[in-house]
Structure 1
Amino acid sequence: MPLLGKKVFTLATIDRNGETGDAPYLIPHTKERFQSKSEYKKRKDLYSQNIWTCRATGHINLTHEEACKSETVVMEQLASQFPKCFEKDVLELVHHSTASLDAIVDKAWWKLHQQFIIGEKVNLKVKVADKLIPAKVTAIDSSAGDKMATSCNSPSSDKENSADEKDKSPKKWVPPKFLPYTYSIELDNEAKVIHSVPGSDMHRVSKVPSKDMLRHFIRISALRSGTASTSPWVVNADLVKQYKLVSKFADFFLSPVKMPEAFKKAEENGKKRKLSGKSLSVM
């Protein structure tokens, strides 16, 4: 739903007894009905003002109807360009993060390009038979990648880097390389799980969403809890429940009263990190 200021605006309550269905005054684009002509005119006037924000794109100074249409277009794009299998991993990065939207988008984009995701549909390459077998990722083992991360400063790699610097010719963009993780996959056509499968032996079925699609998805799925640039992001309650997202603030588990306190602390920590980063750059 469109934002009024930085908050989601709630539509008029629909009477469960069906009385509102007989109300004579209808706002077509929201399907809201009103018994009172004055209430209808008041709401219609509010919707006609250029004070609304499209939650998905962040476009401001729209009428309510324009913002709704903009969100509908984005939702249709997300339905076709943002596979469901990627939602949980992206939302886990978003929920209670104090990072900027761009920083979260970059982090999510890199993650999705460098590894397969649990629940993702893949094709297993069978080299001997020269065929692809459909499967689903059930587990990830990142231990091999962690070991390789400690041995990346080899002389040969230094030579390759220097050679790359000399080569100034334009090259076609290529996606980031997959991390050397291994995976457990469940074959689609038989109840069989194969373990320790290298990422190089699998093909992706779903295309990773673009940064624009990631940005739209995050905007439509979460809001900052405050007005500060370091206010924590809070994912929509229904998505938190659906994906069982874990709180990043232990205070939440103690008492709901401490939630504002935890948000304030997160904002302060975010500001401190920004200040320390600036001071280091000056030095």
Structure 2
Amino acid sequence: MPLYKRSAFPLAEVPADISPNEEVFQVRFTKEIFRDYQEYLNRMKLYRQKVWTCKVTGKTNLDYEQALSSESKASELVQNFPKEFIGPVLRMVQFSPSCVSDLVDRIHKRFKDHFVEGEVLDGVCDGSVRTCKILRVLEENQECEPDNCSCSYEVAFIKSDGKVKCTDNINVQSLRRKKHPLTKCLLKSFIRESAFIGVSKKSRWAVHDNLARLHNVALHPTSEEESADGIRNGVKRKNSDDDSVESNGNNKRKKSTDGTRNFILLAGFLFMSLTDRLPGSKQKYPIEDKLLPPPSERPAPSSEFSLPAECVGHLLMVWDFCSAFATSLEITQFTLDDFEEALCSKEEECPLLEEVHHALLKAILSNTNLCEKLQVKRKDKKGKRKLQTWKDDLADVLELIGSDKTKPYASSIRLGDYSELEPLARLEILHDLTEPSASSIVVRGQLDEHIPRRKDSKKKQASPEIEDEDDDEPPVGEHLAGTNGSSKLLKSFKRYVLETRDACL
């Protein structure tokens, strides 16, 4: 059900005494029935506003029908959620105070190196890798590091015909997955579909009762959580009672007294905010970056990279290029940490690197001469580029325009051994692809569009500012101001206070 202002929206109840022959007005997508045409129009007007939120995906600025369609598509995606992970994930969601993004990151990181009962994966048996199934978790440490994890499991090794060969107790270092079973998008949709959270910042996630009972999830918080919630609720009730008493006393005040009081508070607040900017005054934070004093010492450069030092230059250059021209290259923005992790990954399929390579190749082959050479080389008349064939395209492009360092990698890439390349080799390949991409039609189009705008903005910054008409008027509080900028601030403050006083009184 779509959310309205982050809360469930109750539908109108069907009239109990409605007759079969009575003419009524029905909403097509909610099946609500109204006798009054004006009530029907008001409800339809509300449903057509862009104020609804998809409960499953969290998308905002939707009308009611769009939110329903989004929930339907997301629910179909949730049906593919691995059954063996439903119970463990729901237990981590239950009574969690974290926001959905932090909760998704924590669950994704938790099951990256931990396994659950019923999961099928690869295990080492007698020096060879075989398919096995987790029967029972013997020992599990939730806060251990991946390299020093002491978790152990009872597994059953499975033959090719599906029968159990033998059982054994092995540690986590002897188990491995082909890929992570849970994506962050799937986790986010599953959490929103299976649990709910209140509007308050102190609210906690609560799993639906039917799912909690089905998967043995606790329905009530622990005693520590109950005591913490009780203290917060008690403070909230006490404050609300004090506010009600104070509000009853304030009802006897006159309207003019309230206006004078609000004006004095507003004037004092504006004066304090302006005097904070005067020379010699103590600065309060947070402030704008332009108002920060110059640093006394240059901070130490960061060295927390997983890649070797010789790779950092190419890493920053490729990432900055992809971030600057993400719109033209039609790729999604990604962080430097994600890019570094993708380069170090040994998985056969890495969506981030696949998308970046495909986008750069597509930009390079927008050059007609190079595209014709590639078609002649491959005897391909259509010359269409597909994401599934990016490795073949990459190998052909490296053989045509690659440097002496990257051309030897073409044969390995064509054989499907891209995952075996070192991070430095991958960066050298991406570095060779960014140079011809920068001169492609796609990237040059974005540059030609933004360069005139940049020149216009520089001209506007270089033009002198228009002087204020009231420069002849002596500034208020000139004895407090040490510079012309501060005098202008106080002058603007005086003008604003006079206008505000008339409005309040």
* Band the TM-score falls in, shorter-chain normalisation: 0.5 to 0.7
Shift of 1:210: 2.0
- The alignment status of 1:233 with 2:205, answered yes or no, reads yes
Scaled by the length of structure 1, the TM-score of the pair is: 0.63
* 1:132 paired residue among 130, 136, 141: 130
Summarize the alignment of residues 234-253 of structure 1 with structure 2, pairs less than 5 Å apart. 234-246=206-218, 247-250=220-223
- Helix, strand or coil: the match of 2:170? strand
Shift of 1:118: 2.1
- Residues 9 and 23 of structure 1, relative CA distance in 2, 3 Å threshold: farther
Partners of 1:252 and 1:181 lie apart in 2 by 28
CA deviation map 1:36-75 (0-9, x unaligned): 3545444333322222111223222321111112222322
- Residue 59 of structure 1 aligns with an amino acid whose one-letter code is K
Scaled by the length of structure 2, the TM-score of the pair is: 0.38
Aligned position for 1:219: 192
Aligned residues of 2:153 and 2:171 also touching (Cα < 8 A): yes
Q: Kindly tell me the number of residue pairs found equivalent between the two proteins.
A: 228
Summarize the alignment of residues 58-77 of structure 1 with structure 2, pairs less than 5 Å apart. 58-77=58-77
Aligned position for 1:36: 35
Summarize the alignment of residues 6-45 of structure 1 with structure 2, pairs less than 5 Å apart. 6-12=6-12, 25-30=25-30, 32-34=31-33, 36=35, 38=37, 40-45=40-45
Aligned position for 1:210: 183
- Residue 71 of structure 1 aligns with an amino acid whose one-letter code is E
CA deviation map 1:64-101 (0-9, x unaligned): 11111222232233334x32222222221111112233
Partners of 2:225 and 2:119 lie apart in 1 by 31
Shift of 1:2: 0.9
Aligned residues of 1:114 and 1:177 also touching (Cα < 8 A): no
Partners of 2:11 and 2:155 lie apart in 1 by 45
- Residues 51 and 245 of structure 1, relative CA distance in 2, 3 Å threshold: same
Partners of 1:92 and 1:83 lie apart in 2 by 15
Greater fraction of residues in helix: 2
Greater fraction of residues in strand: 1
Partners of 1:215 and 1:104 lie apart in 2 by 9
Shift of 1:116: 0.7
User: Rg bigger for which structure?
Assistant: 2
Aligned position for 2:258: none
Shift of 1:202: 3.8
Summarize the alignment of residues 90-109 of structure 1 with structure 2, pairs less than 5 Å apart. 90-109=89-108
Say which is worse superposed, 57-66 or 200-209, in terms of deviation.
Answer: 200-209
- Residue 132 of structure 1 aligns with an amino acid whose one-letter code is R
Partners of 1:37 and 1:205 lie apart in 2 by 60
Aligned residues of 1:2 and 1:68 also touching (Cα < 8 A): yes
Shift of 1:217: 2.1
Identity rate, percent? 23
Aligned position for 1:50: 50
Q: Relative contact order (C-alpha < 8 Å, sep 6+): which is higher? A: 1
Summarize the alignment of residues 175-190 of structure 1 with structure 2, pairs less than 5 Å apart. 179-186=149-156, 189-190=162-163
Partners of 2:231 and 2:222 lie apart in 1 by 7
